[in-house]
A and B are shown apart, each in its own frame.
Chain A
């Protein structure tokens, strides 16, 4: 096996419950730095739920609780004293449906930094330009930063959401089916973006589009009914999967 990048997330024996119902069973997995890790599996298999464990967005659901270890850079993020807001600065999230705030493009981008107390206008301007350039959106909107973000097309809105996340200078970007609401051209643009972003960020992406996972991921994890069935180099998983269930899923023999 080729040399591995350092580990960013180490998950051991993760079990997740919504009240009595168990949604994730004994998940153990390591996520490596500056790679694209794709989570695939049929609907309801728990991949989105797993993603939301990593930035504690599951906290928003009252009945949700976990057992097991989730460490981010050797820190247990489910410890009671964890600074959850700080975690979410380092571990950003892009959602399935683009959700820009009902404000101008500029205000969307500086919202996060302002919440952290950054006031310096010059600094904010820099952040805006850098983030939009990294998200491949700068050329398209640089002349209309004061216009409403809702006036952008779906693909542009999603790139804006990515830029907004990048503005917080995270280490990890979580993406929950980011292109499932977009047309093929917008999807292709975002896939290209992901390929260039992985040089600077660790990306974990949930997708139900197998070909997308094959195209963009370095490592792929296959989830089925709350369990992690197989995890490995995308190269190997898409050509010679070890587990029969993985084979059946990726060849589309069952949905």
Chain B
């Protein structure tokens, strides 16, 4: 039986909370996009409110992490885990913010005209969601190779965003799209591209947890 049961338990609990926070943020992201697609004002407001919950998660997890530091004086892998988590929850919180941002845009739409969400954007949403889910897996298993793949995937997200820009620009030139609508199409896509970047940040902190190296710099 390994020693330090309190530390082990505290670390397990910490990881669980982070997973819950990520699940919740992702859920909000999906619902935010839904609200936008269906111009559902009610849902939009719900999503915006739910962001408070995401913020609260961040604070709770920070508290748990700090407690482990003062109480258990972690070293080596334990230390890297706790400090890495402290860093990556900021990115999770930002993801939650973007979900709220997307929902907020709904409120600016006029009556119940369904907004256009490009297939490209839906594709981006899919990929990005996958990235966040994988990052939680990578965290729980401290799997640096999985984290690496997440970082690679971001290229495709960036590419998709470029495609959206090209498409919208083309449509604008051809005047086959209402300029107002074009703004929103672009903004939604942009938010998803940002979520992708945050997922990459999370993956980079996971590599730090595994190896002590962040973006090719040894932090120790």
Contacts and interface: CB of A to CB of B under 8 A. Distances in A.
Say whether A and B bind each other. Answer: yes
Interface of A: 210-211, 214, 235-236, 238-241, 247, 250-255
B14 to A, nearest CB: 15
A238 B77 CA distance: 9
Contacts of A255: 3
Nearest to A241: B76
Nearest to A255: B3
A110 to B, nearest CB: 42
A1 to B, nearest CB: 12
B7 A240 contact: no
Nearest to B7: A252
Contacts of B179: none
Contacts of A247: 76-77
Contacts of A254: 2-3
A210 B3 CA distance: 15
Nearest to B210: A240
Contacts of B73: 211
Complex A-B, nearest 4 residue pairs according to Cβ-Cβ distance, in ascending order: A239-B220, A240-B212, A253-B2, A252-B4
Interface residues of B, number: 16
A238 B73 CA distance: 11
A211 B218 CA distance: 22
Q: Which of B73, B77, B79 has most A Cβ within 10 Å?
A: B77
Interface in B1-24: 2-4, 7
5 contacts: A235-B220, A240-B218, A250-B75, A250-B76, A253-B2
Nearest to B74: A251
Contacts of B218: 240
Nearest to A247: B76
Contacts of A252: 3-4, 7
Contacts of A211: 73
A250 B73 CA distance: 11
B3 A239 contact: no
A211 B212 CA distance: 20
A247 B7 CA distance: 15
Contacts of B80: 239-240
A38 B54 CA distance: 45
B76 A251 contact: yes
A240 B3 contact: no
A240 B220 contact: yes
B212 A239 contact: yes
B76 A239 contact: yes
Contacts of B211: 240
A214 to B, nearest CB: 7
B78 interface: yes
Interface string B67-92: 00000011111111000000000000
A250 B75 CA distance: 7
Q: Which of A210, A250, A255 has most B Cβ within 10 Å?
A: A250
B2 A239 contact: no
B6 to A, nearest CB: 11
Nearest to B73: A211
A238 B76 contact: yes
Interface string B202-220: 0000000001100000101
Nearest to B79: A239
A239 to B, nearest CB: 4
Contacts of A251: 4, 7, 74-78
Given A239-B75, A251-B4, 15 more contacts: A235-B220, A238-B75, A239-B76, A239-B220, A240-B76, A240-B211, A250-B75, A250-B76, A251-B7, A251-B75, A251-B76, A252-B7, A253-B3, A253-B4, A254-B2
Interface string B160-182: 00000000000000000000000
A236 B2 CA distance: 24
A247 B76 CA distance: 7
Nearest to A250: B75
Nearest to A239: B220
Contacts of B78: 251
Contacts of A214: 75
Interface in B56-76: 73-76
A103 to B, nearest CB: 41
B214 to A, nearest CB: 12
Q: Which of A236, A251, A255 has most B Cβ within 10 Å?
A: A251
Nearest to B220: A239
Q: Which of B4, B75, B78 has most A Cβ within 10 Å?
A: B75
